[in-house]
Structure formats: C-alpha cells, structure tokens
Amino acid sequence: MTGILAVVLVLGGLIFFHELGHFLGARFLGIGVHIFSLGFGPKLVAWKPGTTEYRLSLIPLGGYVQLAGEKEENDDPLPESFHFALRPPWQRMLVVLAGPLSNFLLAWVIFWGLLATQGVEELLPVIGHVAEDSPAAAAGLAPQDRVVAIDGHAIRIWDDLVTAIEGSQGRPLRLAIERQGTLLETIATPRIQEKRTLFGDTRPAPMLGVSPAAVLQHRPLTVAEAAWEGVLHIGRVTGLMLQGIIKLIERVIPWTDVGGVILISELIHREAQSGIVQLLALTALISVNLGVLNLLPIPVLDGGHILFYLVETIFGRPLPQRVQEIALRLGMTLLLTLMILATINDILRHLP
C-alpha cells in the first residue's frame, strides 16, 4: 500500500503541479480560468468562490485547467478581455511555458532541500588503477596516488581531473600528486583514445589510463551553496536527457530501452521502500524529465504550442487553422505511438 500511495502522490502531484503553473500564469496575466481541477474524471466536490470552479475529481493522477476563451468560443460567459485566445502571442506563450517551468521549480526546491540537509558525496581524485603501457604508467603514477593539482590548478574532485585531462587536447600536463604524505611532481602526456560514453557510443578523447579508487568524501553545504548546486543538478539532468533523446534518434540507444508509466511506477515503488530521501530525489528527477519532455517542439505538447505562438509572433499572424489541426494530429499520433511502444517494452521486461 505504501508503494501504491507513493506512485499516486508522485505522479499525480507532478502533473498537478504542472497544471498549477498554467493556472497561476493565467491568473497573473488576468486570463480567466473556468475550472481548476485536482484529479480527472467525474467531480466529487466543487467550490466556486468567484469565476473559477475548483474541483476535486475522482481520478487522483494529476489535474487540469480550463481557460476562458481557450478556443475562441463565442458563448463564453466572461468578457473577451479575459479570453486566452485573444491575448497577444507572448502572453499565451508565458501561460503555456509556466507549466514546464513549474516542474523545474519543484525539482529545484526538492534538490535544494535535499542538498542543504544531506550535503553531497564527492569522488576524490585518488587513483585506483593504472593501465599498463599508458601515459600514466610512463609518468610513474601508481594506485592510491592523489592528484592535487594540474598545471598549478587545484584538483578537488575526480571530475576536476577528468575535465583537466580532456581539456588538454593531448599536450603534456604537469601533475602534482600526494603519495603517502609526500608531495611529488611528474609530467604526463595524455593519449587520444576512444572513450565510451554514458550512452554506450565512443568518441576520441585525451586519456591518461587511470581509473578512480572510489574514495568518497561527504561535504556539507550551506543553504546558499545548496541552492546553487540544485540549479547545477537540474542543468546536468536536463543535459543528459537531451543527449539521451538525440542518441535515441540516432539509434545509439535502442528503442527497446524506452520505458513508460509502468517502469516509472516501479521505480517510485522501489524508492519508496528505500526511504523518503531516495523517493524525493527520484521525484525531482521525474519532474525535470516532465518539464523537458513538455518543452519538446511537438504539437500537442506545451513546446508545440509555444512553437505555434512563436511563428505567430514572427509573421504577425497565426498558422492556418488547417495546418494547426494536421500538426496536432501528427503530434498526437507520435505521442500515442511512443506510449504504446513504452508500454510494450515495460511488459516485455517482465516476460521470462
């Protein structure tokens, strides 16, 4: 029951927060909102203190917003000044954009809180293995050496070491290393080799031929440091997701790896058993993914609508209605195809 409740709260909460962004964006710009519903389907409870009806609906997975004059309806009871479709393109764009931005904001708040309370675990630049006949071996590097500086620049974590090596373009590097309490210096020249990426393909990169010793260090963060680190977390996750989409299109990542709601639900269920910290971290990751996916320029998604409004802004008039309808149908077909593919993949993963 705990896992099921976690799935409902996480998925429903993320979609609801997305719709809350649209709602707040519309209200901020003075656009009328007819209905703001928590959940889908038949309404259970409704409350209408003004022009907006607030609903609690039967199906708790998310929510929706019905804007005034969203499709230039002639029978809308609100004055035309409140109609969404009659607003300038930039205002419509902001209302649509507010949904994905809300997902990024939620992810940032979660990351911020986790980092401020939990700190970070950092991989130290301690060498665990030196490959034979490698530039590192030729330079005399050995396991348990800690790289403290390269060309006079301090190396604090393993990522600093990787960045310095890959940024060298193969030129000789002056390494300061700490070995059993003694500071030593050596010159190492990276060799251009094929490096396997996170997505399984390879690319040429300068390498020394060393791997880390998996020595971790916990570093607490101040509130301000945690806030900035949360921004960097979102940037890294967004970058990886965009790279993943590109690799998927290039077929570097097989389509059989695409997962859907079943896989996401299983991950939420698993992390719920591990503890609240792990569940919150996964929630933030899914929230970023939801924000990125909704910004893709595919008709039906928020990104597709933003593209329509951008074209209208540039040319001074909207795309012909027929063109928009065809684009929306194609976008819906693409999304349904991806959903079916993801569901089939999820089912096949459970077959013997």
Question: 24 with 98: CB under 8 angstroms?
Answer: yes
Looking at the chain, the domain(s) classified CATH 2.30.42.10 span: 122-218
- CA distances to 24, 51, 81, 147, 349 from 77, in Å: 21, 10, 11, 70, 51
Q: Which tokens go with 109?
A: 């708040």
Q: How many CA atoms lie within 13 A of 321 on its CB side?
A: 2
- pLDDT bracket for residue 230 (50, 70, 90): very high
pLDDT at 73: 55
Cα 239 from chain centroid (whole Å): 8
Q: Which has more confidence, 190 or 257?
A: 190
Could you read off the pLDDT of 268-312 as tens digits, one per residue? Answer: 988 988 899 999 999 999 999 999 999 999 998 999 999 999 999
Residue 217, pLDDT > 70, answer yes
pLDDT at residue 203, as a whole number: 86
Is the confidence at residue 200, as pLDDT, over 80?
Answer: no
Structure tokens at 128: 């665990």
**Is residue 61's pLDDT more than 90?**
no
Are the beta carbons of 62 and 16 closer than 8 angstroms? yes
What pLDDT, in 10s, does the model give residues 8-17? Answer: 889 888 988 9
Position 1 pLDDT exceeds 80: no
- The answer to whether 19 is a known catalytic residue is yes
The CATH number of 122-218 is 2.30.42.10
At 71, is the pLDDT very low, low, confident or very high (cuts 50, 70, 90)?
A: low
Angle of helix 2-28 relative to helix 89-118, nearest 10 degrees, comes to: 140
Mean pLDDT of 116-141: 95
Identity at 29, one-letter amino acid code: L
pTM for the model stands at 0.88
Question: Of residues 19, 70, 229, 271, which has the active-site annotation?
Answer: 19
| Cα atoms in the 13 Å half-sphere on the side-chain side of 344 | 8
DSSP summary character for residue 82:
G
| 233-266 pLDDT, tens digit each | 999 999 999 999 998 888 888 888 888 888 898 9
What number is the average pLDDT over the span 181-206? 89
Using an 8 Å Cβ cutoff, are 2 and 9 in contact?
no
Q: Tell me which DSSP letter residue 32 carries.
A: -
Q: Is 72 left (phi over 0), alpha (psi -120 to 50) or beta?
A: left
Whether the predicted pLDDT of 121 surpasses 90:
yes
Q: Which two tokens stand for residue 187?
A: 């010159």
Q: Mean pLDDT across the chain, nearest whole number?
A: 91
Burial class (CB in 10 A: 0-12, 13-18, 19+), 318: middle
The answer, yes or no, to whether residue 72 has pLDDT greater than 60, is: no
Contact 183, 195 (CB under 8 A): no
User: Given a cut of 70, is residue 63 above it in pLDDT?
Assistant: yes
Choose between 61 and 90: higher pLDDT.
90
If phi > 0 it is left, if psi is from -120 to 50 it is alpha, else beta; for residue 241 that is alpha
In degrees and rounded to multiples of 5, residue 6 shows phi and psi of -65, -40
* Residue 76 pLDDT exceeds 80: no
Beta bridge partners of 129: 211
